[in-house]
Amino acid sequence: MGNWIELSTLEYKEVWDRVYDAFKFEPGMADFPSFEVPNPFITYDEIYYDLEEKSLLVFQELTQKNEYMYALDWQHPGYWINPRLEFPKSEFDEWKVPIFPNGDYYFFIHKNFEWGLLGHPWERTITIFGKELIKVFEKHQPKMFQKILRQG
């Protein structure tokens, strides 16, 4: 099985229904944040040059060899990804679903919603939730994660 496996129509609907419900997700350009995540969480401000590399290390540490997780791009195709497989990049040198929110909501979520990374395009922030994810990001801390905006 390869990487960046597009979700079926049913999987896509089910996962986004769960995102809307679990995070009380309300996309918008005015009220920030657009989602609520369970405690513990930390929201970071931008500066993201090493974010992709460090996020991949974190995802690899928290998943098993053949385990897949969600990579979601709001109102665009969603994917199953395996952090241990190749991550081909686009002509813009980004993953199919970029890690940093540069115009859309980009979410990377554990298959059981135990932890995740939620990118907000207009607030230009990333919120990570889940004790395990926070702990491993503290170990592999991207430069971006040195300025905390909110914490819960």
Domain ranges of the chain: 5-25+39-151
Alpha-carbon dihedral of residues 69, 26, 53, 97, nearest 10 degrees?
70
How confident is the model at residue 48, as a pLDDT?
Answer: 64
How confident is the model at residue 147, as a pLDDT?
Answer: 66
Asked if pLDDT for residue 130 goes beyond 80, the answer is: yes
How confident is the model at residue 45, as a pLDDT?
Answer: 63
| CA dist., res. 74 & res. 60, Å (int) | 24
DSSP assignment, residue 72? E
Q: Which of 37, 127, 133 is nearest to 83 (CA)?
A: 133
Asked if pLDDT for residue 71 goes beyond 70, the answer is: yes
How confident is the model at residue 1, as a pLDDT?
Answer: 58
What values do phi and psi take at 71, rounded to 5?
-125, 110
How confident is the model at residue 90, as a pLDDT?
Answer: 79
Torsion sign over Cα 131, 135, 137, 143: positive
Asked if pLDDT for residue 86 goes beyond 80, the answer is: yes
